[in-house]
Structure 1
Amino acid sequence: METTIPSTAARAAHRRRDRLFTVLAATAATLSGWAVAVPLAGVELTVRGGGVEQRVTPVAVAVSTLLAGLAGWALLALLERFTGRARPVWTVVAALVLLLSLLGPLTGGAGRSATATLLVLHLLAGAVLLPGLRRTAG
């Protein structure tokens, strides 16, 4: 039986595909969470900042998740390029960023249900992005 060793280019292509899938899956997860909370459960998802209340739309959820996922991907790629310990360093940084991101809902959620929903959306994104991107680390 002959075993083939994938080329470096093939491994890189698989890694990019898996990372893209992870970012898209995180976006789908947060959009699903928004859909359950807002239209189905009737949560009024608003945030307060600078004395202004603003509704959190599905576009805002999708864009925020995509940007967070792409930023995590970029950091992982940079770490892989400059250190041999990319996976553990990235994991610690990503976990800290997730924890810090929870301050936004805790301080800006307009009401208990909005705060709880925003926390869940942040945790959903983290639950997909952290293990998904970590798994692809080389």
Structure 2
Amino acid sequence: MTTVTNEIPQRTRIGWPRIVGTAAAAAVAATVVWVLWTAAGGVDLEVKSGSGAQQIGIGSVILSSLLIGLAGGALLRWWEGRSERGTRRWTMLAVGIASVSLITPTSALTVAAGLGLVSLHVVVAVVVIAGLRRR
């Protein structure tokens, strides 16, 4: 006699250690890019802010990279627990958000600052998306 069980397969979700590690890696990568542009390249990463300018400092680069990585990982974890296609949907959303984020460097004061900011956005997006996707 055979026994049939009605087990529902558990969806696997990304773990918090991987999320935190990816967020930290994004912050480190962004820090390296920031240092290359500012210290080594001598570029002031400044954007228009109201009637003046705002300097993009290392603190805001690190903090925003960490927050983006953690928020992206939390969303992926949530979505994976609710949908078989959670990772795919998350990836499409992440690529879309990364693409839209490239609009913000257009407020840079110089072309070099704009290129530096674009490179920061791209590096963080690549590290977060590649780091959080399952292989």
- TM-score, structure 2 length as denominator? 0.86
Gaps of 5+ in 2: 1-9
Note the 1:1-80 alignment, pairs <5 A: 15-80=15-80
- In 2, the alpha carbon distance for the partners of 1:15 and 1:121 equals 26
Structure-1 residue corresponding to 2:4: none
Q: Is the 8 A contact 2:31 2:61 kept in 1?
A: yes
- In 1, the alpha carbon distance for the partners of 2:56 and 2:17 equals 30
Shift of 1:67: 1.2
Other structure's SS at 2:53 match: strand
CA shift digits 1:39-95 (9 cap, x unpaired): 111001101132220111000100111111111011101101221111100000000
Higher helix fraction: Structure 1 or Structure 2? 1
- In 2, the alpha carbon distance for the partners of 1:82 and 1:71 equals 17
- In 1, the alpha carbon distance for the partners of 2:100 and 2:51 equals 22
Structure-2 residue corresponding to 1:127: 126
Q: Is the 8 A contact 2:15 2:77 kept in 1?
A: no
Other structure's SS at 1:43 match: coil
Instruction: Say which one has the larger Rg.
Output: 2
Structure-2 residue corresponding to 1:3: none
Query: Percent of aligned positions with the same letter in both sequences?
Result: 31
Other structure's SS at 1:82 match: coil
- TM-score, structure 1 length as denominator? 0.84
- In 2, the alpha carbon distance for the partners of 1:75 and 1:113 equals 33
Gaps of 5+ in 1: 1-7
Structure-2 residue corresponding to 1:109: 108
- In 1, the alpha carbon distance for the partners of 2:51 and 2:85 equals 43
RMSD: 1.8
Q: Is the 8 A contact 2:43 2:113 kept in 1?
A: yes
Shift of 1:116: 0.2
